Amino acid sequence: MHIGGKIFGAIFGYMLFNLPGLLIGLYIGHRFDRAKNSVYGGFSGFNNLGSGFSRREDPRLLQQKFFHATFATMGHMAKATGQVTQQDLRVAMAVMQRMQLQGEVKLDAQKAFNEGKTEEFSLDEELNSIRENFRGRADMIRFFLEVQLQAAFADGQVQAEEREVLYHIADGLGFSRAQLDQWIHMQEAAFRFQQGGFGGFNQEDAGGSQQSYQQATSPNQLADAYRILGVKETATRQELKRAHRKLMNEHHPDKLVSKGLPPEMIEVAKQKAQEIQAAYDLIRKNRGFK
C-alpha cells in the first residue's frame, strides 16, 4: 500500500493553508496513492524475476511469447532452403534436448516450430512482437538472435538462404548487417571451439560426433577463443578483461531470466556463459595471467 502521497500532501497543505490546507492536501494525496495502487497493487508472484519487468506486465506471458517466437522463427529458418530436412529436425530436437524440455513444454516447442514452417507464418509479426515486448532489453533481443545463429550453425555451416533469413531477422530486431556479420564470425568460431571439446558442449545430438576435451591447444583453437570474445589476438590484457566482463554480463543466466528469458531456456544461457568463460580461460592460460 502506498501512503507517501497522503503524508506529503498533508504536510505541504498545512504549510500553505494551516488546518484547511492539511485536509485538502490529505485528500489529494489519498487520490494519488489510490492511483499508484491501481497500477502496482495487482502484481503478485514472479518475485524472483527481479526488476527487469514493469509491474504492469505479466512476466510469464512475456516469457511464453519469447519461447514461442524462438521456436517458430527456428522453424521458419529451417524451411529457408526450400524444404525441411531430417538434419533440420535433428537440429531442432537437439536444441530442445539442450534446454532439457520435457512433456507439455516440449510439445509447445514442437508446435511452434511446425507453425513457423507454414505459409501462414509471418516472420515480421513475430519480430515486431519481440522488439516491442522487449524494448529496452537489448541483451534479450540479442539472445533471441544468437539462438537462431546457434541453430543455423548446428550442422557446421550457414547456407546462403539461411544467411538471408538471419539478415532479415537482424534488420527486424534493429541490428545492422555489420553487427550480424560479426556475430556470425563469433558463432562460427564458437562452433569450432565446441568441436575441439571446449566449453562443455556436445555435438552428438545435432548429428555430429562426440568430442572429448583436448588438453593440447592448437593455434586455431586459440584464434577461435579470441574471436568468441570479439577481440583481436593483439588485444591487451585490459581489453581482454573488458570484453570478457561485458560478454559475461550480457549472457549471465540470472540476469537474462530477470529480463524475460523463459526458465526453460536457461540451460542455453548457461552453456553460452561457459563457452565465453572457457575461451577466456584458454587465452589467460596461453598468456600466463590470472
Q: Each residue of 169-185: pLDDT tens digit?
A: 999 999 999 999 999 98
Could you write out the three-class secondary structure of 94-143?
Answer: HHHHHCCCCHHHHHHHHHHHHHHCCCCCCHHHHHHHHHHHCCCCHHHHHH
Enter the pTM of the model: 0.70
Mean pLDDT over residues 251-258, rounded? 89
- State the pLDDT at residue 19: 61
Residue 53 has a pLDDT of: 43
* Residue in the block written with cell 506529503: 8
pLDDT at 73 over 90: yes
Lookup: cell for 172 = 527486424
> Which residue type occupies 139?
D
Query: Are 287 and 237 a contacting pair, CB within 8 Å?
Result: yes
Amino acid at 7: I
Q: Specify whether the backbone of 9 is left (phi greater than 0), alpha (psi in -120 to 50) or beta.
A: alpha
Q: Which of 136, 126, 138, 139 is nearest to 168 (CA)?
A: 126
Cell numbers given for 10: 498533508
pLDDT band at 35 (very low <50, low <70, confident <90, very high): very low
The three three-digit cell numbers of residue 183, written as one number: 556475430
**Separation CA 221–CA 227 (nearest Å):** 10
pLDDT (mean) for 124-139: 92
pLDDT score of 161 more than 80: yes
